[in-house]
């Protein structure tokens, strides 16, 4: 039953308000990551995704190469980015499958929620969950990092998923700290600027004692940190 539910969620298209029609074309080239060039000259950056990279899963270049020449419909998720690329998704005309879902379910990409409304991310997270359940691609070797790993700060600049129990929640005038240990100078931390919104700050302050997964780019400060700017960067796994 759970597998069926996941499959249905993956197949479901995002809400109409999340996308607009960007026209039809064919895939002409790709950059080996998540930007594709169409035969009409448009470049499309797949929205809310980052390439999944580790020893078990290379960038999605091989999979994208199999799609050269494929007819697609462009689904726009917002304005062009600062490099002039259209941000959105591609609907594969022959199968009706979304390219973002194909990469996520194969463990070749991960969800990066930054810049996309929370309600528009459900299908992407469901597709990612399929790959994690099947342990394919980047998930084959236990990709999720342990918050207690002392080497996290050494991996600064890498997009990571970090799992652990929130030991305590600290707060200053402008920042909420999710402390994943008692040694604040050496343990992993989630950082949230209160300028990011009162509701998210309130949610984070209630996470003490809960096992959570934090996703984002690792920073090198103290024992490593991830800056939280979007509520979907935090997934509550269970209470301690």
Amino acid 185: pLDDT: 78
Could you write out the three-class secondary structure of the chain?
CHHHHHHHHHHCCCCHHHCEEEEEEEEEEECCCCEEEECCCCEEEECCEEECCECCECCCHHHHHCCCCCEEEEEECCCCCCCCCEEEEEEECCCCCEHHHHHHHCCCEEECCCCCCHHHCHHHHHHHHHHHHHCCHHHHHCCCEECCCCCHHHHCCCEEEEEEECCEEEECCCEEEEECCCCCCCCCEEEEEHHHCHHHHHHHCCCCCEEEEEEEEEECCCCCEEECCCHHHEEEEEEC
Show the low-confidence residues of the chain (pLDDT under 70).
1-16, 54-59, 239-240
Amino acid 197: pLDDT: 84
Q: What is the dihedral of CA 79, 83, 89, 91, to 10 degrees?
A: 110
Amino acid 240: pLDDT: 55
Amino acid 2: pLDDT: 39
- Rounded to whole angstroms, how far apart are CA atoms 78 and 59? 25
pTM for this entry: 0.87
Amino acid 147: pLDDT: 93
Q: Does residue 41 come out as left (phi exceeding 0), alpha (psi in the -120 to 50 range) or beta? A: left
Amino acid 203: pLDDT: 87
- Rounded to whole angstroms, how far apart are CA atoms 104 and 110? 6
Amino acid 34: pLDDT: 93
Amino acid 33: pLDDT: 85
Amino acid 8: pLDDT: 35
Amino acid 58: pLDDT: 59
């Amino acid at each position: 039953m759970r597998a069926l539910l996941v499959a249905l969620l993956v197949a479901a298209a995002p809400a109409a308000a999340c996308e607009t029609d960007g026209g039809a074309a064919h895939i002409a080239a790709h950059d080996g990551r998540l930007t594709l060039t169409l035969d009409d000259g448009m470049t499309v950056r797949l929205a809310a995704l980052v390439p999944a990279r580790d020893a078990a899963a290379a960038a999605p270049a091989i999979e994208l190469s199999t799609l050269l020449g494929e007819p697609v419909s462009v689904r726009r998720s917002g304005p062009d980015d600062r490099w002039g690329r259209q941000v959105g998704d591609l609907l594969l005309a022959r199968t009706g499958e979304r390219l973002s879902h194909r990469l996520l379910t194969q463990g070749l990409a991960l969800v990066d929620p930054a810049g996309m409304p929370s309600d528009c991310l459900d299908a992407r997270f469901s597709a990612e969950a399929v790959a994690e359940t099947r342990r394919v691609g980047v998930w084959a070797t236990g990709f999720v990092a342990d918050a207690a790993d002392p080497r996290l700060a050494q991996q600064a600049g890498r997009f990571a998923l970090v799992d652990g129990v929130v030991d305590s929640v600290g707060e200053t005038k402008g920042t909420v700290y999710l402390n994943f240990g008692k040694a604040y100078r050496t343990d992993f931390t989630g950082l949230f600027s209160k300028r990011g919104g009162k509701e998210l700050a309130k949610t984070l302050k209630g996470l003490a004692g809960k096992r959570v997964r934090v996703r984002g780019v690792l920073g090198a400060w103290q024992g490593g940190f991830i800056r939280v700017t979007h509520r979907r960067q935090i997934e509550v796994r269970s209470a301690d």
